[in-house]
Each structure stands twice: as C-alpha cells, then as structure tokens.
Amino acid sequence: MPSTATEQTTLAAKLIRRIETDGPISVSEFMTACLADPEHGYYTRHDPLGRSGDFITAPEISQIFGELIGIWCLAAWQAMGSPDRFVLAELGPGRGTLMADALRAARLRPGFGDAATIALVEINEGLKTAQRTALQDLATPIWVDRPDALPSGPLIVIANEFFDALPIRQFVRTDKGWAERMVGLGDNGSLAFGLQPLPELGFSPPADGNVPEGAVYEACPSATAITAALSERIAHDGGAALFIDYGHAEPGFGDTLQAVRSHRYDDPLAHPGRADLTAHVDFAALARAASGGSEVRPVIDQATFLERMGIDIRAETLARGQDEPTQSAIASAVERLAGTDQMGRLFKAFAFASKGINLPAFDSTG
Ligand code: SAH
C-alpha cells in the first residue's frame, strides 16, 4: 500500500487504533468518521464556511442565490394549492443564509410565511446557533438530525451542497473483477489506501463488461436512501424537492473524493477531521432513486436554473443606483454563480414533485 504522511490529529490516532484492531475500513466508514465523528468530526466540530473557513458556498457569495430559491419555493407552494400548513425544510443549512434570503423573498407574498413550519436538518451545533441567529427576525425553526425525522404533511425541501458531504463507497475495477477501495495502514503505520476484493457485487455499476482496469465507480448509499424516502413521502403528502450540488448528470466512472482545507486541495488522508471531504454527486443515481415515488425532472445545470429564475433581472434591480464598486461586486457574484467556467456548469439542479405540480425553471410556464 502506498502510504501518505498523516498528521497526527486526534481522529487520525483514533482511526489508526481502530484499523489495528478491526482491519481496514471502507472509504465510506472513513468519510463518516472524518465528517461526523461525535467528538472530532469535521461537521460536528467547527464552522467550515466562509472566508475564514475552508470553502465558500453559493448562498455566501450572493443573496440572489437564496432569493431565487425562495421564489422557486413560493411558486411550488402556490402550485400545490397554497396549503395553509406545510413544512419548508432545508438539508444542511450551513449558516442559515440561504433560508434567510429565501424567506425574505418568499414572504413578500402573504400567507407563505404563516403557513410554513421551518425545519432544518443539521448535525453541527455551532451551525445551529448561526442558523438561529440568521433566522431570528424571520422564523422560529425546528431542528432534526435526519431527513426521516421531518414533521409530516405537505413538504417543500431544499438542499445546497448537502449531498456532496455524504459518505461514498468506492469500487475499483481490477484484473480479477471489482474490489472495494479501503483505508488501512501503510508500511510506516500511517493511513493508506488499499483494495479489498469483493466476494460478491452488492452494487450495480452503470456498465460491466468493457470497464477498463483501474476504473473507479462511486456509490453513495445514504444519498440514494434519503432521496428515495423523500420522493415517496412527497408523492404521498404532496410537495416538491430541489437539490443543488456539484456533480454529474450522466452515470460514469472516476475518483472524485476530494479534501479541501483553508481553500486549498488537501490529501484526503492527511488531516482526518480537519479537512472537508466531499465527492461529486451522482445525479443519475439520485434520479433513479427518486423515480419510485414522485415525478422526477431532468437535471439542469446551475447556470440554466439561475437564468430561468431571473438572476439577471434580480442583479440589475440590486445594482440600480449603487456605486461602481457595489455594481461590479454584484456582477462578479453573478459571474461566479452562473458563469459556465465557474459554478454554472459543474453545479447542477435536480427537482421532483408530487403529481401535477408546475415547477419553475424545470417545467414550461405555458
Ligand atoms: N447549505 C449550506 C451549507 C453546506 S455545507 C450552504 O450552501 O452554505 C454542508 C452542510 O450540511 C453543513 O450545514 C453541515 O453541517 C451539514 N451536514 C453535513 N453532513 C450532515 C449530515 N449527515 N446530516 C445533517 N447535516 C449534515
């Protein structure tokens, strides 16, 4: 096994002890520990977002992002017949910025705010405090730690950069068939990747037969399980879902496990619990998972979603009468969000809804 210099974080030491006792762990078990270990996990310990954190997300770039999603939620609620009670949920709300901007925009229409129970799915205690503060003049949210614990009833659920943080399993094609990529110990005793042959294939890669040796197939069982459950529930209770994340719309192969620390790429094994670990979201897999319940829309890219929701008009309104630095800051934020060489193409928007609901940006308005 090639080994990597692993900084001796407390979590690294804990993982090394675990592997010494129980043997190598899957990439999924490694990610789960790094992101959600109750004591040392990346998302349980600290605030990863913003300039001083490890990465910046779309709602932190511009208020327009959340506002347009708020308008999307408002239109979905109206298409549902403006129910006088519904749950407006967000998975992984970060600092609460997206929900705050969304509510500010959507509450311009009377009735929406009164009808909505705001429910936030979050595991990070520090971020819950930030979310409470962001929403203090807008709503009194409730928190749950899993999507299946959301209150019942009609549901509109949104998520931005939530699914990329869920643990993936990686399968590698070898000359002897498929093997699972594992995290074990290298010669020097630090964490190292290795392979474990699969006695039986507990998953279905998009194609077999002609897969080249070395090809990596990724599966995210929790993402597909969450999507399937929400889709069934929405089909039953009524509602709509909008997930935005970076990833691919076509099934494919490739190692997309990525670590980011202080706005730089990092070795995924180097700082367990101290770097953000993500993987591309496989939207084809999410679409398959959702297809058993609700009506699934084709995946579109973030640029298309934002353009159809009116990002240019909103930017123009915001910029009107402002000084030059403010105007150019708005223009560069729009470019970052919707520019095709920036977030516009890599990020995708995926939606599904109960029967007969017209979803802005996804369905024709005709
Ligand atoms: N949506 C926000 C934050 C993205 S970061 C934004 O766009 O800025 C990922 C978010 O998901 C954080 O709030 C993190 O604490 C939360 N999260 C990560 N894993 C989670 C899990 N398994 N269950 C619930 N929330 C999780």
Expressed in angstroms and rounded, the spacing between residue 54 Cα and the centre of ligand 1 is 13
* C-alpha–C-alpha distance, residues 161 and 343, integer Å: 12
Alpha helices of 146-294 — where are they, by DSSP H? 221-237, 283-290
> How confident is the model over 196-247, as pLDDT tens digits?
988 776 666 666 667 889 999 999 999 999 999 999 999 999 999 999 999 9
3-state secondary structure at position 229: helix
pLDDT of residue 1: 46
Expressed in angstroms and rounded, the spacing between residue 187 Cα and the centre of ligand 1 is 35
pLDDT of residue 76: 97
Count of positions (residues) in the chain: 366
All residue ranges of the chain with pLDDT < 50 are: 1-3, 366
Q: What angle do CA 232, 234, 239 make, to 5 degrees?
A: 165
| Residue 117 backbone phi and psi in degrees, to 5 | -95, 120
Expressed in angstroms and rounded, the spacing between residue 228 Cα and the centre of ligand 1 is 19
pLDDT of residue 55: 75
Atom of ligand 1 nearest to the CA of 121: 24
List beta partners, residue 170: 218
List beta partners, residue 26: 182
Alpha helices of 238-323 — where are they, by DSSP H? 283-290, 302-308, 311-319
* C-alpha–C-alpha distance, residues 97 and 12, integer Å: 32
Strands 281-282 and 239-248, by their bridges, are: parallel
> How confident is the model over 120-141, as pLDDT tens digits?
999 888 899 999 999 999 999 9
Alpha carbon nearest to ligand 1 atom 11, residue: 92
Expressed in angstroms and rounded, the spacing between residue 162 Cα and the centre of ligand 1 is 5
Reported pTM = 0.94
Residues with Cβ within 8 Å of residue 81, at least 6 apart in sequence: none
Q: How far, rounded to the nearest angstrom, does the alpha carbon of residue 87 sit from its chain's CA centroid?
A: 20
The answer to whether 135 and 141 are in contact (CB under 8 A) is yes
